Structure 1
Amino acid sequence: MTLTNPETETCNMHCYGYLVNFLCCGLMLAGLWHLVNHRTYQSAYGRHMGHPPCARTVPARVSWFVQEMPALLVPLLLLLTTHKPSSMGKYLLLGTWCLHYFQRTFVYSLLTRGQPVPVDVMMTAGLVCSVVGFLQGHYLLHCAQFDDGWSADYRFKTGLVLFYIGLAINVHSDYILRNLRKPGEVIYKIPKGGMFEYVSAANYLGEIMEWFGYSIATWSFPGFSFAIFSLCFIGTRAYYHHRYYLEKFKDYPKLRKALIPFIF
């Protein structure tokens, strides 16, 4: 599997290579900024939101639907402007991206029982999803070029396996968390089962695995930058979730780690 230089033009649509590189660097810097800036506190939503909330909020289902939708919608709109990608690999790789965000938009958001989300958090998340949706869609459809042996490449196979394992962990962990609560409840309980036997943030572990798998399968700067961004953003949140559980529940499993089984 090979990729063209992002300055090339494919599929009758110009590849904006400089913009791709700029957005990739911006994503990684934003992730590192979040990692440094949130060493002592977390964004005020979910279990880390104050009581009562200090900002205007919207229902969790509305918030997740609105903020996740652009990451699915933007690549699909870009697909309409593209004339027959030169490789089926582009369709399949873009499909892995869209599969995740279809699940987040039309399944997770409609089933979640989370607390209301501040409007500013929803708007910021929606902006990020719009940017990364454009970045991944534009790169795969207008910049990347796969040779005829893409499907046999070990990077493609390894990346997709890692992606789908991560997706399964993510979906199963969300199911466990959702069913800890009765309808109408917003209290937090100790999750059990699946990867929660090993880490406090099994859902985040699954999502991080997805994006590193995606970055390997695409073997691209956009894929890698988003994986780093995700690790910095939800990795810190996983740490604070773990600390929350330890402080709230005296009987919390002592051997359970925050994000990486047996390590961290």
Structure 2
Amino acid sequence: MASSDQALFHYCLLTLYITAPPTFISLRFLQAPYGKHHRPGWGPTMSPPLAWFLMESPTLWLTFLIFPFGRNFNNPKSFILMSPFLLHYFHRTCIYQIQLYLNNTSQKSGFPVTVALMAFGFNLLNAYLQARWVSHYKDYEGKDGRLFWWRFLIGLVIFIGAMWINIWSDKVLVGLKKQGGGYKIPKGGWFELVSCPNYFGEIVEWFGWGVMTRSWPGFGFFLYTCANLVPRARANHKWYLDKFGEDYPKGRKAVIPFVHRGFFVFIVFIGFSFVCADPLLHISPQCLAVWDFVVQWLQIVQTVLSRLVVPPQTKISLFDQTFQDLLLGNLHC
């Protein structure tokens, strides 16, 4: 029974990592048809608040179903660690949808059922991975356990700060919809820096979650969040520019303020090193296969970025050597 559960966990984890690259690539060319990008031809639709409630709900009920069966169920640290995840999804699943319904700001065109079903499937997968890791597979004692509170507190500060950005941004957007008269240019706060601070906040939230858990599932969720939200933010940014033209602030970035996109990819590399440098993570062959696959994908991304933003004579640079030393030479799994 234990070996079958471990195999299920590893293959679900492999699925999480493998789906991130095609998600990123496909969303560069085809946006999910809701919100600003709504278009016909995706089958039946349903009320957007109801769709969001149903497709996000596995993160709550599946977590509560899985938790009692974990070997860490009686360890208070497991409940403390899981609480930020549940806090985010309680707000996203319940509170935010109630606000949309009460403010009558939902899309009149409806939300495609096919998109809701795909999101429901992903949330089933992700809720299982995060809850099973925290409640069963994470080691809260020993050498790694002594650093638990430091990692948790650092990650929690990142998580709460980013969650505030996410909630505040959504509140601004809901307020603009409530005014009526079609789409308007959001202004103030983080909207002066990026077009989609709600997406930026959510990306940083799950980076904080990865710091708290220091796990393959935690960092895999952060990676998938980037693959899902960064292309959509870029599409939203282009939509704003096309719609408002010269009236739209030219200095705004799409989603990540201050830093160059190449540096952001480098941060992702650092995150992988952070996860894999822990010798207490007893990585199975399946997880090593995940690593090999993702490293190859990231190498391709880094090569493409270098061709786009680096002069030809400096493409083979110190950055390439640092990447190799950091992620391949110092891997301790």
Per the TM superposition, whether the score is higher than 0.5 is: yes
| 1:102 pairs with 2:94 | no
Match of 2:14 among 12, 15, 25: 25
Offset at residue 27 of structure 1 (A): 1.2
Instruction: Give TM-score, length-normalised by structure 1.
Output: 0.87
Structure 2, gaps ≥5 residues long: 262-333
| Inter-CA distance 83–143: structure 2 relative to 1 (3 Å threshold) | closer
- Rate the CA distance shift 1:215–1:119 in 2: closer, same or farther, 3 A: same
**Contact 1:169/1:206 (CA < 8 Å) preserved in 2?**
yes
| Corresponding residue of 1:44 | 33
Matches of 1:149 and 1:54, distance apart in 2: 51
Letter in 1 for 2:35: G
Distance verdict in 2 for CA 1:157–1:84, change over 3 Å = closer
Compute the displacement of 1:56 (Å): 1.2
Aligned partner of 1:179: which letter?
G
Counterparts of 1:54 and 1:137, CA distance in 2: 32
User: Cα distance, 1:158 vs. partner?
Assistant: 1.7
1:167 corresponds to which of 163, 167, 180: 163
Structure 1: any 5+ residue segments left out of the alignment? 1-8
Q: What is the TM-score normalised by the length of structure 2?
A: 0.70
How far the C-alpha of 1:226 sits from its partner, in A, is 0.7
Structure 1 residue aligned with 2:234: 239
Contact 1:89 1:150 in 2 (8 A): no
Aligned equivalent of 2:62: 74
Identify which of 92, 115, 118 aligns with 1:121: 115
Asked if the contact 2:72/2:78 (under 8 Å) is kept, the reply is no
The alignment of Structure 1 onto Structure 2 pairs a total of residues equal to 250
C-alpha deviation, 1:186, in angstroms: 8.3
CA shift in 2, pair 1:186/1:204, >3 Å: farther
Partner residue in 2 for 1:136: 130
- Bigger Rg over Cα: 2
Runs in 1 of length 4+ with deviation above 4 angstroms?
none
Contact 1:168 1:206 in 2 (8 A): yes
Q: Name which structure has the greater RCO, CA cutoff 8 Å, separation 6+.
A: 1
Whether the aligned pair in 1 keeps the contact of 2:154 and 2:211 (CA below 8 Å) is: yes
In 2 relative to 1, CA 156–190 (structure 1 residues): closer, same or farther, beyond 3 Å?
A: same
Q: Residue 89 of structure 1: CA displacement? A: 2.0
On the 8 A contact 1:85/1:141 being kept in 2, the answer is: yes
Pick the structure with more helix per residue.
2
